[in-house]
């Protein structure tokens, strides 16, 4: 029991943080100059965090916007992307976080980043199925 305590003692007392073997390998992009960021971009290349149009259209919930005469137009929020009001029969895309956008607006966004432009949550989880061969 005592030997178990001694084994984990550095982690409990924080000594493990003092010796970080990989500190030099980490990039601190927040403190890099513009020129350093450009050089990093050239080394890394274009890293896309977006999704294909096919994946977006298969995974995103869609519906048609129906105008309700009972609700006044001033209570309805416009599309957060284009800031235009929804009109009858507009195609609406609903993200996993519950926010609605014009389908064309959010589709363009999701091809660049798989995040909600408002809350920054990942929206469409790509499910990868692995087939195990014997």
Tokens of 132: 């195990």
Cα separations in angstroms, 68 against 3, 20, 43, 126: 71, 60, 53, 35
Strand ranges inside the chain, DSSP E: 61-64, 91-94, 100-102
Q: Which residues pair with 117 in a beta bridge?
A: none
Tokens of 56: 């977006």
* Per-position pLDDT tens, the chain of length 134: 555 555 555 555 555 555 667 666 677 878 889 898 888 888 887 667 788 888 888 888 898 988 765 445 545 688 989 999 988 899 999 988 889 999 999 999 999 888 899 998 887 665 443 334 33
Q: How far apart are CA 113 and CA 100, in angstroms?
A: 16
């Amino acid at each position: 029991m005592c030997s178990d305590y001694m084994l984990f003692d550095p982690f409990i007392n924080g000594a493990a943080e003092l010796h970080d073997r990989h500190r030099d390998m980490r990039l601190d992009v927040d403190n890099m100059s513009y020129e350093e960021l450009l050089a990093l971009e050239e080394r890394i290349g274009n890293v896309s965090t977006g999704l294909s149009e096919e994946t977006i259209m298969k995974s995103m919930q869609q519906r048609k916007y129906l105008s309700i005469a009972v609700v006044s137009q001033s209570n309805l929020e416009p599309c957060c992307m284009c800031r235009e009001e929804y009109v009858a029969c507009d195609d609406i895309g609903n993200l996993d976080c519950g926010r609605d956008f014009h389908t064309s607006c959010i589709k363009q966004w999701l091809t660049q980043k798989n995040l909600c432009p408002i809350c920054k949550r990942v929206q469409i989880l790509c499910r990868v199925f692995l087939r195990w061969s014997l």
